[in-house]
Structure 1
């Protein structure tokens, strides 16, 4: 009986630790998509960044005529230290409990931001007002914004 009680207690403690802290995720199994968009915009209005390992792929798109502004795609290399920081900030279980939309993204042309985390086959996207944040995930939002600023556009 004592062994059963001890096993249950240890299992409960382990579960609580993974809920409050970050999960251990492998860089090979994590895909991060983040980006911005503005509905009432001329030129390149949609920026999507896909971070996989230390590779960042940026795709720029227009809301208008793609013949005037064809989609552009380019790649950058993410600093391994930044990659490790991102991995420590990911708690997929907590993130997947967030609503898919926060606020009123791009209402009155205020713009929208999103973050999508994919771990293995599971993925969850949260879209929110440009310049705002996802409550409880401020460090992740801030670090991804820094990376988007660093890799602003394809030449």
Structure 2
């Protein structure tokens, strides 16, 4: 009787242990799946005169840049579609560590408190979507390589005159 009770307890514990283990959502980085991958960087300043918000959407082969006059505007002042080089896209993909992204809190610090500009990074692929908000320029060690890469590319895009 004691043996049966002991075996039953082991069985129940093993079932509970297995059912409580969560599997992280995976984003495939196989070449055939990258066409679905989109990485967005949104930069918003609340107290500004003009060009208060920039939105960059990076996809394989293209980047769409939108500039908004005010933070809550839904219609951009201008939209620019540019070709994204394979080298630039590969740099973004290599900087993306999906496991670290999944483990990163959705809100870092207090974005926008004390009137600081806000950055939002969104990664989407198929049914997967993850967004992280922070004060603009803030360091987030778990996703820093991705932030460094998309921020650098976004700065270059802001400074190009050929879409204004």
TM-score range, shorter chain: 0.7 to 0.9
SS of residue paired to 1:133: coil
Q: Give the number of the structure whose residues are more often helix, by fraction.
A: 2
2:52 is aligned to: 45
- Show CA shifts across 1:76-95 (max 9, x none): 22221121121122232331
Contact 2:46 2:71 in 1 (8 A): no
Structure 1 residues 87-139: Cα deviation after superposition (integer angstroms, max 9, x where no partner): 12223233122111101212222211121101212101101111112222111
From the CA coordinates, give the structure whose radius of gyration is larger. 2
Q: Is the CA contact (8 Å cut-off) linking 1:23 and 1:88 kept in structure 2?
A: no
Runs of at least 5 residues in structure 1 that lack an aligned partner in the other structure: 1-18
User: Which of the pair is proportionally richer in strand?
Assistant: 1
**5+ residue gaps, structure 2:** 1-23
Q: Is this contact kept in 1: 2:64–2:79, CA < 8 A?
A: yes
CA contact (8 A) 2:40 2:55 kept: yes
RMSD: 2.5
2:94 matched to 1:88? yes
1:97 to 72, 97, 103: 103
TM-score normalised by the chain length of structure 2: 0.71
8 A contact 1:76–1:151 mirrored in 2: no
Instruction: Please name the residue that 2:63 is paired with.
Output: 56
- State the TM-score, normalizing by the size of structure 1: 0.75
Q: Which whole-Å CA distance do the structure 2 matches of 1:85 and 1:91 have between them? A: 12
Would you say the 8 A contact 2:96–2:145 is kept in 1? no
Does structure 1 conserve the Cα–Cα contact (< 8 Å) formed by 2:44 and 2:71?
no
Pairs aligned (count): 133
State the distance in 2 between where 1:123 and 1:65 align. 22
